[in-house]
Homo-oligomer: A and B are copies of this chain.
Amino acid sequence: MGVPGAFDLTDDAAVLDVPYDQQLVVTTDAMVSGVHFLPHDNPADLAWKLLAVNMSDLAAKGAEPLAYSLVTALPKTIGDEWVEAFAKGLGEAQRQFRINLLGGDSVSTSGPLSLTVTALGLVPCNRMIRRKGARVGDALFVTGSIGDAALGLRLVQGALTQPIPEGDRAYLLSRLHRPLPRLDLVASLRVFGTAALDISDGLVADLRHLAVTSKVRLQVDTQAVPLSGAALRLLVGVPALRRVVLTGGDDYEVAFTAPADKAEDIAAAGINAGIKVTRIGKVVEGEPGLDLLGLEGAETDLGVGGWRHC
């Protein structure tokens, strides 16, 4: 499952070609048991998520996946069965994201299981989309639906006590455990995006990151934030969950700004890629930060929100 220059992982390093008209994009994400996932989580799901969160960073930057390195720090309690299931999940995710392993390291630890991926991607020269770059007058978009993973986490934690249809339950758990990085939108993002990032810490926190780095103010219509059917059905019964949806993490959707007059082209590109793209606000003059419009009651202090690890 290695790239050609990985020499079946029998050397001290791998060697890779970067085409002359491309640049290398590098991102790293680590996951620690008890912090980013639970010790009894399914190993195949973990493998998927580990690769997916790194691919999501590449996607949001406009980069195509190239290869990745993996470091596993395994406690002695991890058995062969776990390792086999993990490797199988990794293979499945590799095929899905069209990326191969180039090497890494495997160490033992007296502490919790931890997993680190450094992902390499390719982007045409000077075309990486940064957090910086949003311009006054741009429109603000997000892909997919927001808050499903946070609701899935509440479900796992037993914090949702109302009856939930089996299909909604499966959907929310899938959104938590098997995020789908928006790789199919990468080419269009590079065409239209002026600034972008993936939503990992939560919509409010990540939009704030984009606003601060771009030194602009974002006016966000919170009523326009796209919700899945499963999320909507939950919110009808417990309106307070809207707070979870707007601040919860782990969505791995992409938030981006683009010229407002390109909104129709962007909608068409989304349809073409099979990815819903929703306009949720605009870039305005003012202090770097967010205006959250359409909040109700106790939600109005949401501006400080963001996702905290468990």
Q: Which A residues form the contact surface with B (CB < 8 A)?
A: 5, 7, 10-18, 20, 23-32, 34-36, 57-58, 60-61, 63, 67, 69, 71, 73, 75, 102-105, 107-112, 114, 116, 118, 120-121, 123, 128, 130-132, 197-198, 213, 309
Contacts and interface: CB of A to CB of B under 8 A. Distances in A.
Contacts of A114: 73, 107, 109, 111, 114
A24 B105 CA distance: 18
Contact of A197 (B12, B71, B110, B121): B12
B28 A118 contact: yes
**For the complex formed by this chain, how many copies does it contain in all?**
2
B111 A110 contact: yes
Contact of A12 (B23, B27, B120): B27
Max count, chain B CB within 10 A of own CB: residue among A23, A24, A35, A58 = A24
Contacts of A103: 26-28
Given A11-B131, A118-B118, A30 B110 contact: no
Given A17-B23, A32-B109, A112-B111, A12 B131 contact: yes
Contacts of A24: 15-18, 24, 120
Contact of A26 (B107, B112, B120, B131): B120
A63 B30 contact: no
Contacts of A20: 20
A12 B198 contact: yes
Given A12-B131, A32-B107, 17 more contacts: A5-B23, A11-B61, A15-B61, A15-B123, A16-B25, A16-B26, A26-B67, A26-B69, A28-B71, A30-B73, A30-B105, A34-B110, A75-B111, A109-B111, A109-B114, A111-B114, A116-B116
18 contacts: A7-B132, A11-B132, A11-B213, A12-B198, A13-B61, A15-B23, A15-B61, A16-B26, A24-B24, A28-B69, A28-B105, A35-B108, A36-B107, A105-B116, A108-B309, A109-B112, A110-B112, A118-B118
Nearest to A67: B26
Contacts of A213: 10-11
A61 to B, nearest CB: 5
A12 to B, nearest CB: 5
Contacts of A111: 32, 75, 109-112, 114
Nearest to A198: B12
